Amino acid sequence: MGAPMAANLLKAGFAVTVWNRTAGRADALLASGAVLASSPSEVAEVSEVTLSCVTNSPDVEAIALGPNGVIEGAAPGSVYIDCSTISPEVARRVAAALAAKGVSMLDAPVSGGDVGARAATLAIMVGGDPATFERCLPVLESMGKTVVHVGPSGAGQVVKLRNQVAGGLHLLAMAEAIALARSAGVAPEKMLEVVSAGAGGSWMLSNLAPRALRGDFAPGFMVDLMQKDLGLVLETAANESLLLPGTTLVQQVFGVLQAEGRGAEGTQAIVDAVGPSRRQ
């Protein structure tokens, strides 16, 4: 996700300095005009706005607040934008630590997968100070099509977790629809053609179902990452005494794929955890 998002910043004319834990993954960006830094601190030192897109809450805390982290290089008045999906509590804690040094933070998780990241059509839900959001809007709009300020610090993560609830349930609906079509002897491709155009259509049906039917399980978004996000959802729900039976079921279904060693595949692999496809 991070690489195509950075590429779109370059296309928009921004001067981009990059750092990656695996240095070679930045080669294509360097060839397009980005400058390589040796640490998050060095990126922040030369940037008015520093962005990150990593895996989980501990990664964000390390990049933002750890040794050679953003907090060590960012100047007062600069902004840190995190596009990862993490715990809202961690987002607020990082924001508070940065604010003590005069650095603003926006939590700005994204939705739209690798397709949206490449096409700059991501949906971006942003938490933080409204004035900081307006200041950074040109940066965010270079990466996304729908950019919405949803509330104070942590609110972006709150909304993203709700997005994952809907996304996970849509994936399960996709898998069950395909399983039923196969069981009844109906070509799943034909079923998708008509259902996707009606009230039962979804992004998952239009974008991921065709890949699943081709046996293309390359990850736009990995099963392991969806499980991480659903874990955050259920943790939040437990803290708020909420019952989420659908989300619990989806997490269990993805757990089947993880148990089979398929956690690094795309979430469209859920079709192989439901119905007669498992016996083919």
Q: Is 160 a catalytic residue?
A: yes
CA distance 145 to 31: 26
C-beta separation of 103 from 78 below 8 A: yes
CA distance 68 to 259: 37
Phi then psi dihedrals of residue 18, to 5 deg: -125, 155
Half-sphere exposure of 17 toward its Cβ, with a 13 Å CA cutoff? 14
Cβ-Cβ contacts under 8 Å for 97 (sequence gap 6 or more) = 64, 65, 71
Other CB atoms within a 10 A radius of the CB of residue 67 amount to: 9
Residue of 101, 145, 160, 190 marked active site? 160
Cβ-Cβ contacts under 8 Å for 166 (sequence gap 6 or more) = none
Tokens 């942003």 label which residue? 126
Catalytic annotation, residues? 160
